[in-house]
Amino acid sequence: MPNQPTIRVGIADDNEQFRETVREILQYEPDIQIVGIWRHGADLLLGLEDVQPDVVLLDINMPYLNGVEALKRIQQRYPDVRIIILTMHDEDGYVLETLKSGASGYLVKDGSATEIIRAIREVYAGRAIVHPQVTHTVIAQFQFHADLNESWRDVLTDREMDVLREIANGRSNDDIAKMLHITGKTVKNHVSSIFSKLEVTDRTQAVLVAVKRKWLPS
C-alpha cells in the first residue's frame, strides 16, 4: 500500500520460544517493524529509554517486574506507547486491572497469528481490542467494580442499548431478534448503527467501549 505507515513494535515476554515465534510471525508483515525484544518488565523499561515503539506486546507473568506493574510505569513515563497485554487463560483476574491501567488490547497467548497482527494494527489506529475468550471476564469484573451510568442515552437509542446488552451476553443476531421480538434484519441494522456510533468494527470492540464508559448494567 502506498504511504502505509510503519508500526514500530516491541515484545516483552520471558518465554524465549514465544518471543521468537512472534518475531517470526511479524517479520513478514510489510507495515510492521520489530524495534525491541525484552525478557521481562525491568528489561523493557530500560529498553524504552533508547527506543519507544508504537505498540508493545506485553506478557503479564514475568520475573523482576511483571506486566501489570510494567504497564503502569510505561503509562506514566511513555503515555503514547500503546500496550497489548498477552495472557494465559488462568490469568483472567488481571484483565480489569490492566485495562483500567491503560492497556489498549488483551490477547490470549495461544491465539492465532492473524489475531496478533490484527490487534497490532487496530491498537495502532487508536482502537481497543479484547480477545472474545476474555470479553465476558471483562464485563463481569467491570460490573462488579463499576458505578454504572446512563450517559449512553446521549449516544444510543433505547433499542440500540437493548441490542448492545444482548451482544454483551454473547447472543447471536437470531437470538436477539427472538428475545426482543424484532426481525433479524432490524437487529442487523441496530448492530450496524451501534458500530458506527461507537466507531468500532466488531461486537467485542463495541462491548469494550460500553464497559469502559460504564454503560452495561450488572
Over residues 121-144, mean pLDDT: 71
Let me know the angle formed at the C-alpha of 216 by 211 and 217, rounded to the nearest 5 degrees: 145
pLDDT at 144 over 70: no
Let me know the angle formed at the C-alpha of 86 by 80 and 88, rounded to the nearest 5 degrees: 160
SS3 192: helix
Query: Among 2.40.50.180, 3.40.50.1370, 3.40.50.2300, 3.40.50.300, what is the CATH number of 7-140?
Result: 3.40.50.2300
CA atoms of 150 and 156, how far apart (whole Å): 10
Using CB atoms within 10 A of its CB, is residue 185 exposed (0-12), middle (13-18) or buried (19+)?
exposed
Domain ranges of the chain: 7-140, 147-212
Looking at residue 179, its pLDDT comes to 86
Q: What confidence tier does 218 reach under pLDDT thresholds 50, 70, 90?
A: very low
- Verdict on whether the full-model pTM lies above 0.75: no
Q: What confidence tier does 47 reach under pLDDT thresholds 50, 70, 90?
A: very high
pLDDT at 143 over 60: no
If one looks up domain 147-212 in CATH, what number appears? 1.10.10.10
Under 8 Å CB-to-CB from 162, ≥6 apart: which residues? 180
Looking at residue 116, its pLDDT comes to 92
Q: In this predicted model, what pLDDT tens digit does every residue of 74-122 receive, in sequence order?
A: 988 998 999 998 887 545 566 666 776 778 888 888 878 898 999 999 8
Q: Distance between terminal CA atoms of the chain? A: 44
